[in-house]
Each structure stands twice: as C-alpha cells, then as structure tokens.
A and B are shown apart, each in its own frame.
Chain A
Amino acid sequence: MQIDFIAILPEIILTVTALLVLAADLALRGDAKQFVNPLAGLGTVAAIIATVALWGSERVTFGTMYVVDDFAVLFKLLFLGTLLAILAISWRYIAEHRFFQGEYYFLLLTSFIGMLLMPSSRDLIMLFIALETVSVPAFVMVGMRKRDLYSSESALKFFLLGVLAAALMLFGMSMVYGFAGTTDLVGIAAAISGETASVPLLLGSVMLVLVGFGFKISAVPFHFWAPDTYSGAPMPVAAMLAVASKAAGFAGLVVVAFIAFEPVADVWGPMLGVLAVLTMTVGNLIALQQRDLIRLLAYSSVAQAGYILIPFGLARTGPGAAVVNAAAIEAVVFYLIAYAVMNVGAFAVAIAVERRTGLRSIADYAGLSGRSPLLAMGMTVFLLSLGGAPLTVGLWAKFAILEAIAVDITLFGIVLAGFLVVNSVIAFFYYLKVVRTVWMDEAPAGLPQLQPGFNLSAVVVVLMVGTLVLGVLPGLVTDFSSVISIVAAG
C-alpha cells in the first residue's frame, strides 16, 4: 500500500516538534526551559506552511480512511492558527508560574495533532482515536496547577465526564459497526440508506455518538463541566478548550453527521436543533449572572456552541437536501473561524490582566481603559464581536447562520432564527456590562499599569485587526468557506 506522506505532513511535523520539545526540555535547565516555546512555535509555522501547500488538492490515503480536501485544510489552518496564538499567550504565563514547561508544550502539541486528524478522518475508529488524542492531554493540562486544589477538582470533573462521553460514544459506534458491518463513514451511509424501515437500535446508537460529541462541544444538557473546568484550568488551557477543542468537536460532528448519518438527518437534525435552542438560551441566561470573567466567558462559549449548532438543526435528507446541508456546513465553518478569532482574543486579554494582578472578577476590570488602553480596546472589540455588533466579524457569523436558514425556509428554521435573535439581545447585556466596567468605572486605587509582553500584545493586536477587517470584508473568509461546501456533502 502506498502512503501519501505529503497528506499527513502537517501531522508529522507537529509530532516531530512535540518530541523535539520533550528532548529540549530535558537538555535545558532553569529559566532556559522557556525557550521550548519558540521551538514549538517554529514547528507550528512549518506545519502551517505544509498545510497551505495542501490547499486545493484532494488526497486520499490509508485506504479511504484519511481524506485531505479543502474542508479539512481550512479546519487544519484554523487549529494551527489557534495553536500559534495559544503558544504566544502561554509563554509568560507558563514560564512564570512554575509549570512543567516542556511537558506542557508537549501535551499541547499532542492535543493539536488529534485536532488536525479530526476533519480528515473518514472512519469511526480514526475519529474516535483523534478525539481521544485531543482529550487525554487536555485532562492533564487542566490539572497542571498542581498546588491548587481548585485546578485538581476541575481536572477530575473534566476527566470523569470526558471518559463517560467517550464510553457512550464508543458504545454507539460499536453498535453502528454491528449494524453497518464497516467503520468507513461512506460505507455506513450506504448501509443506512439501503435499509427500508428505520431501525430503533440504529437511531439509538446515532444518538449515543452525537451525545458524545455534545459533551465535547459542551452543548446544554452536557455542559456542566465547562465552567468549572475553564475557571480551574491554567488560563491558556481554558482558551484552548474553549476554542480549539470545541472546534475539533464540531469538525468531528460535521464529518460524522453529514457523511455517515446523512440518510437519517431527518431524525438528528431536529434533535440537534432543539439542543441548539436549549444550549444558547441556558448558556446566555446563566452567563447573565456571572461575576467571574472566566466563568462568564465559559457560559458565553456554551451559548456560542448553541449558535453553531443551529445549522445542524437545518440538516435534512432527500431531494434538495444537498443544497441545505452544504449551506449549513458553510455557516458552521465560518462561525467557527470567527469564534476562534474573537474568543482567543478575549482570553488573551484576560490572561494579561490576571497575570499582573492575580485577579479576574469582572469588578477588577474597572478602569482597564486607563491602565492599558490597548487591552481595554481589545476586550471591547472581542466582546462586542462575540455579541455580534456591526463592524465586527461576529455580526457576519450570525448573518451566515441566518443565510443558511434562508436557503430553504421552514417553520423550524424560523423558530431557530427567532431564538438566535432573542439570544443575541440577551447576550449583549452581559457583554456590554463588562465593556461598561472597562471604560466607565473608576479603577481601584493602587493597581499598577499593565504591561503586556510583546507576544501577548501582538496576539491581541492581530486578532483585534482580524475581527475588524473580517467585520468589514467577510469575503476574505467566505470565499474560502464557500468552496468547501461540495466536499463534505459528498
């Protein structure tokens, strides 16, 4: 069998980088250990180059198990870009807080290897292993603030719920395999559509698989771990869980739902739609009452997951379904890119503020505008964008969802759109509350000026510019996300 090594080059580069990081950490002593961070950054840049080179090609390798198409490349670029930003905001935080640095970066890179594999996997076993490769290092990274019982508690919670989700998903997958006789996603779709009457067992196992992904993306009945885990984890890890790990969950969900389970879209579509409504409403209502910024961002990310689930609710099967499904996938991908840009930015500002003061309740952001205009500006842009204000990419992300709904208007679609609009209004309350605190409230006396490091400032500036530029010219991304549509539908 011929292996297409070019197709898996980004993963190979990241793997080599991870091992190099581990070896470098062994060789370096004391303060020099922090220089594994630029090493990891270099590897990431190399992986980005290798991924960009794959754009436009369609490579299939390892049987039909591994497919690199534009859909996968777009997701891989999203993950690698996020990894670069997270490396930049991690540097000082990890170097100053007495973490095991080499191990931290090794685990981070390993987790991202799993993410890179996710959108390319066309096989249940491969998908499951990719998902576990994302999760297992994350369990450890959450618990890395070892002196802090709060961190240990959040790691344990994350671990137990993650394992439960993995068990449910694996059980569902095993029964899907028993039914279809193959783990190949296209083969499963063929086996399901070959069935005349719907089989309850099959629908049950489809639900189990989707529930497993529901945990990963913290959709509402399965969101309980998210706020506790985010607030107990080291903050760069919280950013990674909220953005990259969630995007990986969505990538897997898109692949499994729209390829393998496409013939039963009439069943899981409405179910995920209801889940979307629950997720955004509950997430936003709880976020309203948060006083801790990280918990607010956690519940806001739950709500955002609800928005991203809306296009899944539109999915259907039968004649004319391909157009609707393609539009839905496009909306999901665009929203995820926008979400990554603005949410990593918000976490970067939170890290900068906490780094100097060790505090992160929303009241402590009072007068941030005086203490660091850049961070205040950044926080404002990111939060307004998360809310969906005009001139930011957040508006276009919500617009993309409405566009997907408008492709073929149904009553359920209108209900979903209504919930989207109402929830956006609710969300503005708590985003604007923070913005008001940042600009209007007096800073408590004696707080020092904030001096974010070069890396972190660069990340904040780049993401801020990205949020605004994409807010004016969303075509920069939609041009790319529109070409991918055909791929995942087929």
Chain B
Amino acid sequence: MAFWNKTPKTDGDPLLRPLPRRRQLSDRAILWLFIAPTLILLVAMNIFPLFYSLFLSFTDYSAISASPPVWVGLGNYQRVLSDKQLWTYFAITGRYALAAVGLETLLGFGLAMVLREKFHASGFITTLILVPMMLSPVVVGLFWKLIFNPQSGIFNYLLGFAAGQGPDWLRDPKLALWAVVIVDVWMWAPFVMLLCLSGLNAIPEYLYEAAVIDRASPWFQFWRITLPQVAPLLLIAVLFRTIEAFKAFDLVMGLTGGGPGDATELIAVNLYRIAFPPQFQTGLGSALAYIILVLIVAISNLYIRTLNQIRGEV
C-alpha cells in the first residue's frame, strides 16, 4: 500500500470539504508504472537472454535436443580457443575489418570534404550517395553477385576487361575477400561521410578566418583545424563500423556464402553455422558469441579511450 496517498486535510473549510475518498497514485507509483513495461521488456528480451546464454556457454546443450544442458565448465571456451579453424576465421574477420573500415574512413572522409563545399546539385548528390546504406545487405549481396559476374557483370567491364576475360572475383580465393570489402565500402562509406559532414559543418568559420589572417597554409588548416575538429565524430563512425565488421553476416551470405572454401568465412558466419542449422551446438555457439563480444568490447574501449583523449585535446 506504499504507493497510495492519504486524502489531504481540509481544516473545516466548506469549500475544501473532503471529496469522497479516492485513492490516488503517488508520483513514485506513476513513475514505476511508466518505467515497468520498458524494464520488463528489457529484462525479458535482453538481460535474461544475455545471462542465460552465458550460462549455456558453460554447458553441452543443443536447442533442438530434448536433453537439458549438461555443465561442462570451461570446456566450450577451451574448444573454441584451441580450434585452429576458428582462429583462421578470426584472422579473416580481422583482415576484412581492417580493409573495409580503413577504406570506408578514407573514402567517407574524402567525400565529406568534397561535399562540404556547396555547388550546384550538391544536396541531390549527397542524397544519392546515401542510398546504398539504406538497402538491405542481403539484396545488396545478391545484386553485386550479378555485378561481379565475369561474363555479364559490369564490374570487370568498368575495369576495362572484355566479357569473360576479367577475373572471377567470387571464385578466386585471393579476390573473394576483396570483393566483399568493395561491396561493404560501397554500402557504408556514405555512413562515414554523413558523420564527417556533420562534423565539418559544425566547425566555426572564424577558426579558418583567423588561420587565413595568420597566413596558414591549406595543409596547416586541415591538419590543425579540420582534422582535430572532425576527429571525435570520425572516431565514432570508425567505432560503429568496426563493431559492424565483426558482426558482418548477411552481406557475406548473400554474396559468397563464406566461400570459396573459407576465403570469406567471417567469424559471425561461422558462429551461425555452429549455433543454427545444421549443427545446432547451442552451448559451443554461446561460448564463441561471448568471445566475440569480449573482443568487440575490448576494441570499443580502445576507441573510446582514444576518443576521450582527443576530446581532452580539442
């Protein structure tokens, strides 16, 4: 009953005659009523699965088995960490993340620098550049599969190869990962561009005016004004893209299916194969998922620490 208030005293004033007793909710109760649905949803959909999957990572369990989870301690973690094949997939993911995020940063920042200057139809061009990131990754994957086709696709043609003469990007193990990187850059460089553009537009004009008065060179202006001012937003973009690169799944499944061989088998793709059909090794899959999570948290922390340093300097 702590939520219910008593009726206030009226001191005999007829105008303040007590109304029939009505129970009123306290502010605290109302507050809880508003928060409770969200909290319940959060606990049911996020917190509980998080801790339950942590528990499952210490068990031998298959989600489709009638048998209950069997405690195996650190067995699953030991299996994951001693599996050479999984380390190969981690290495492929690392290479992919480095190449994709690096190129997206360069290209995105470069585009933002170009589009910062207003010119005829610059708004329209900006909107057009943003279109790829609004598409479904699976659709993009399937679409680019056609574009990469050495016989009928346009990609090799644009590189100057005649039909059937150029490289088979998705068949060659040395090129397949680059094919995925190219598509990822095409899709997500606009995202980096968008964040950089908002950072560039927020730089006060007087900083440049002061620099011009001091006869600072364009390079000096870029290095000492533009880059430090944009760096926090740029780093946030890099952080998001790095996290996404470690989670990349749908684009790869649509484009290469993880092949040829294990050339594009990113860790998230292999996690799917372990945790879902046909293997359904839920316990092992949970352990791998937690290892990926720890890795992403560690990388994110590095970024955030750098970000804080930059903010301190700016």
Q: Do A and B bind each other?
A: no
